Amino acid sequence: MKYYDSPKIDLWTGRVSNKWLYLHEKVHCTPLTELSEPHKKSIALLGYACDEGIRRNQGRVGAVNGPDTIKSSFGKMPNHLASHVLLQDVGSISCTDGDMEAAQEALSNVVTSLLTKKQFPIVLGGGHDMAYGHYKGIKNHLDAKGGNQTIGIINFDAHFDLRKNTEQNNSGTPFYQIAKDCQKEDIDFNYLCLGIRKDANDRILFETARDLKANYILIDTFQIPFLEEITTWINAFVKNVDHVYVTIDLDGFSSAYAPGVSAASPMGFTPHIVLECLKTIIGSGKLISLDIAEMNPTYDIDGQTAKLAASLMHYVAHNIY
């Protein structure tokens, strides 16, 4: 399949216990051609090795290497997954020719296939442009099942990523593209963005968010002291949709935690508030898929950002089932 690379077994190394104490001992490297509907619950790790959207958005390239770096860090972590839960690395979507739109389409098709085969996808990037392909994959899966099931998008991010794509699609346009698709189909655009910063979004982006009826919480409120209020807002949002797709942009975190991103800033949020929110979202029973975007190893320091991404994955994987 064009734009697809099989899983790399050499990424999965670490301390050896021979007792499945570490995730690299638990994971199965399973090419998509060999993937079948599991007899037990299964988590599928899929890379999106593409930073063409970041380049188009005038960001710092390097996130093309993000997925492999996150997988490598994740594999060294302790394994507390139950024996009846499968963990599978299913490879990566790769964009080497600059055709981001084709890579997004490939991602969409793979996500649809994973969901159809009863996998829980965790997609690792790569630019945030993967959100458009990821969402389309979820929607295509649900449309095939029928019933007009609704999707709510919860984005942990400093940026709206609602830039208009009048010139070209990029890592800053995915949710605008989704909103426009929703308008064409006459369905609601259910979007909640947590951690928005006024110093990271211009006036037009705030106007676009208002026009599209996007929900958001500003960074000065997206903090642990306001957790009760934040939880109330999340629960109200989740209540009105059938499924929740979560996307975490690592550049939303303070650079104290995530220096290895395309648009680093010390003014971002903390991991603790994100984990508390994930607890609420997972507890709803509506989380259908998740991704982590913008991991850029070129600018990471001591693997901090990769470890943060891996720790977020660790939490989700150990709490989703």
For residues 163 and 205, is the Cβ–Cβ distance under 8 A?
Answer: yes
Strands 41-49 and 85-94: parallel
Tokens standing for residue 134: 């990821």
Tokens standing for residue 321: 């089932």
Q: Per the annotation, does 128 bind a ligand?
A: yes
Tokens standing for residue 66: 């993000």
Distance CA 200, CA 255 (A): 14
Q: Per the annotation, does 300 bind a ligand?
A: no
Q: Among residues 241, 239, 281, which one has the least CA distance to residue 150? A: 241
Say what the pTM is: 0.98
Q: Per the annotation, does 251 bind a ligand?
A: yes
Q: Per the annotation, does 161 bind a ligand?
A: yes
For residues 113 and 93, is the Cβ–Cβ distance under 8 A?
Answer: no
Q: Per the annotation, does 186 bind a ligand?
A: no
Q: Per the annotation, does 39 bind a ligand?
A: no
For 279, phi then psi, to 5°, come to -60, -45
pLDDT digit of tens for each residue in the chain (321 aa)?
899 999 999 999 999 998 999 999 999 999 999 998 888 899 999 999 999 999 999 999 999 999 999 999 999 999 999 999 999 999 999 998 999 999 999 999 999 999 999 999 999 999 999 999 999 999 999 999 988 999 999 999 999 999 999 889 999 999 999 999 999 999 999 999 999 999 999 999 999 999 999 999 999 999 999 999 999 999 999 999 999 999 999 999 999 999 999 999 999 999 999 999 999 999 999 999 999 999 999 999 999 999 999 999 999 999 999
Q: Domain 4-319 falls in which CATH fold?
A: Arginase; Chain A (3.40.800)
Residue 239 C-alpha from the chain's centroid = 21
